[in-house]
Structure 1
């Protein structure tokens, strides 16, 4: 279930920050599967229209509705940084096999996740033609 309360809290914060130029979201765990629609929010926070130039999301957990919303309404947005990570099950027997390197497997999974995220985000209309999305991995 999409947790609309968390999105509303973020949007309320953005509305109360009309001059916000940069936002870092650090290890926020949005719940739900993101199946809600960003179009349900009728008021666009003014900072998305006039001042927010960058947003960084650390420890991104796959919650795309928020990112889509910012891309759709961030008219002066220049950079979106998404730090993705992939947690590995320590009981996975592949890591006991010397042929596999844990870091290489993680890197491949994160790279695949980043490509998948970018494919989805490219399908979202962006308000700022000059915006760049950068992926970091941890």
Structure 2
């Protein structure tokens, strides 16, 4: 139960951060990508803040024997940059640039703009299903 509450609080904090920073608005993301037009640097500040928080998190994690609400850390192994990673990253970036949303903000945007965000989320789920069915 305690782990579920921590997950709920973490998700709420993440969603609040998306709302406060304006990252649920696809126009903000597209404005960031429009470097030769009406450029909006907001996303750069959000990324910088997230990077700083993550760096602090890695520092703290390195000194902890185990997480507060689990028996051990579930960290990904180191992998080389391969074609699969580059292709997936390119597909994510292209979709992000076209839609102006990525999975987190897309789900959070369901509350604010259910129709347009719903199309994005349905497409995202369909893509995940195709990936799983193809066992890529």
**TM-score normalised over the length of structure 2:** 0.25
**TM-score normalised over the length of structure 1:** 0.24
